[in-house]
Amino acid sequence: MNQLEVALEGIGVNRPFSVEAEQAVLGAAIIDPELISVIMEQVRPEYFYVKQNRLIFNEMQALFMLNTPTDFVTVVDAVVSAKVFSDENDAKVYLSQLADTVPSLSNIMYYAKILKDKYMIRTLMETATDIIRQTQDSADADMLLESAEQKIYALRQGKDSQSLKHISDAAAKSFDRLRKLSGKDKEKYKGIPTGFRFLDDKLGRMGRSDLVIIAARPGMGKTSFALNIASNIAGKQKLPVAIFSLEMSNEQLTERILSSQAGISSNTLRTGDIQIAEWDIITNAIGQIADYPIYMDDTPNITVSDMKAKIRRLNQDPETPDVGVVIVDYIQLMSTGRRNDNRVQEISEITRNLKIMAKELDVPIIALSQLSRSAEKGTGKDSRPQLSDLRDSGSIEQDADVVLFLYRDAYYNKDEDADQTMAECIIAKNRHGESGTIPLSWDGAHTRFYDVDFTHNG
């Protein structure tokens, strides 16, 4: 008897499951193999409490991935080969019973829901027991609260991590993802585009659990670039974006977005020297950005744990779609929440936790970073940043999936004839593809980057 069962026995609680629902789901797949795609979308192997039923479902899942029908003959052959039953006759008898116990094929979705509900309650019991055990082993209240909240959130999101998973589970999910990527709604399942066409071509879009670092020296435009991406995602794709700004206030960020949207210089908005004709433009632009699903937080010294807690609460709001992208401005202003005299070690912990958060929440995190002064070591090409210029920690490079550097030659070249609009986005690291340099146009007055229009280059 394991720890959970001992605890539950002490309070007179049994682990809930429904043999009837388990058998009805398996039986439905045998009677009507066309239902298997519906079942695979709704049911996971761990939903089955009875081991034999779980093993049968595993074999059905394997048949599904091979595009083989899950009829009586194929399932019998599969379960016998996998030694789920001691002999073929036992397999035939039990599978026949499964088919006979299905009350109605039209109610398959209800049977699947019963399976999931029972599984969720069992997992919640396990999670509660684990939380109780942790409270006995630790006196750190903040750590316990974060751990408990994370476990409950993972359960709510259907991401149970209580045990090791067999590769067949991941294979089934990969197969399902590939089906969706090649289907009619494939755009919903691809990575998230930044809105910069040539950058998206190189990156293959942002992966949903990627940590993307945008690094540059102060004044190079990294906050503007991140806000441009946020506006593209929230405005064009209607995906919610969460922005954590440790340097600028929510109002300052909004004015940056407004300047880009309205085409009114940021200096004009900052000073209030607005012409009468510009008021209509500003009013229309404010109406547009007010509808963007952008959520801002300007809490100073925020920790990764605080960010996760705020995003989880936002995701739990039934009126709001889940956050699609998180932006952090910027890493060097963040805190671990603990006193640490070793800043390099602290930054390493922050970037590692940001990557973990991206994976847990299944969203790309765009984190801005300062570059060390060594990035200003020369002129011309020598001024272009390198991975070694990332400030405070080599772990930023290690933890990141993508590292982007922003570079403007005019920033270093004070020649009056220097083209102030030329900019580069240097892909210094790309875990999923190739590196390279993307040319961009920079509009400093309106804090806006643009794709270069090659069609008009002479």
Determine the pLDDT at residue 341: 67
- pLDDT for the residue 455: 55
pLDDT digits (tens, 9 = 90+) for 363-404: 999 999 888 766 565 544 567 888 877 766 667 878 889 999
Catalytic residues: 247
pLDDT classification of 62: cutoffs 50, 70, 90: confident
> What mean pLDDT is predicted for residues 228-248?
91
pLDDT over 70 (residue 165): no
Average pLDDT of the residues in 127-145: 75
Question: pLDDT category, 144, cuts 50, 70, 90?
Answer: confident
Percent of the chain at pLDDT > 90 equals 19
33-42, 111-120, 151-160 — most confident range? 111-120
Write out the chain in H/E/C secondary structure: CCHHHHHHHHCCCCCCCCHHHHHHHHHHHHHCHHHHHHHHHHCCHHHCCCHHHHHHHHHHHHHHHCCCCCCHHHHHHHHHHCCCCCCHHHHHHHHHHHHHCCCCHHHHHHHHHHHHHHHHHHHHHHHHHHHHHHHHHCCCHHHHHHHHHHHHHHHHCCCCCCCCCCHHHHHHHHHHHHHHHCCCCHHHCCCECCCCHHHHHHHCCECCCCEEEEEECCCCCHHHHHHHHHHHHHHHCCCCEEEEECCCCHHHHHHHHHHHHHCCCHHHHHHCCCCHHHHHHHHHHHHHHCCCCEEEECCCCCCHHHHHHHHHHHHCCCCCCCCCEEEEECHHHCCCCCCCCCHHHHHHHHHHHHHHHHHHHCCCEEEEEEECHHHHCCCHHHHCCCHHHECCCCHHHHHCCEEEEEECHHHHCCCCCCCCCEEEEEEEEECCCCCEEEEEEEEHHHCEEEECCHHHCC
The residue that leads in pLDDT, 42 or 367, is: 367
Q: Which residue has the higher pLDDT, 378 or 166?
A: 166
Which pLDDT value is given to residue 267? 82
At residue 12 the predicted structure's pLDDT band, cuts being 50, 70 and 90, is very low
pLDDT at 458: 43
Question: What is the arithmetic mean of pLDDT over 98-117?
Answer: 89
Query: Which of 10-24, 253-267, 301-315 is predicted with the least confidence, judged by mean pLDDT?
Result: 10-24
- Range in 107-116, 197-206, 449-458 the model is least confident about: 449-458
Of residues 337 and 285, the one with the higher pLDDT is 285
Mean pLDDT of the chain: 81
Q: Check whether 10 has a pLDDT greater than 50.
A: no
Asked if the model's pLDDT at residue 410 lies above 70, the reply is yes
- pLDDT higher than 50, residue 63: yes
Q: What digits encode the pLDDT tens for the residues 260-271?
A: 888 888 888 878
For residue 433, pLDDT beyond 90: no
**Backbone angle region of 160, left / alpha / beta, with phi > 0 → left and psi within -120 to 50 → alpha:** beta
Q: Is residue 169 very low, low, confident or very high in pLDDT (cuts 50, 70, 90)? A: low
Average confidence (pLDDT) over 154-164: 58
- Whether the pLDDT of residue 242 is over 90: the answer is yes
Among 109-113, 190-194, 229-233, 401-405, where is mean pLDDT lowest? 190-194
Average pLDDT estimate for 315-343: 80
Confidence class of residue 155 from pLDDT cuts 50, 70 and 90? low
pLDDT band of 237, cuts 50, 70, 90:
confident
pTM above 0.75, yes or no: no
Average pLDDT over residues 73-82: 90
Q: Average pLDDT of 72-78? A: 91
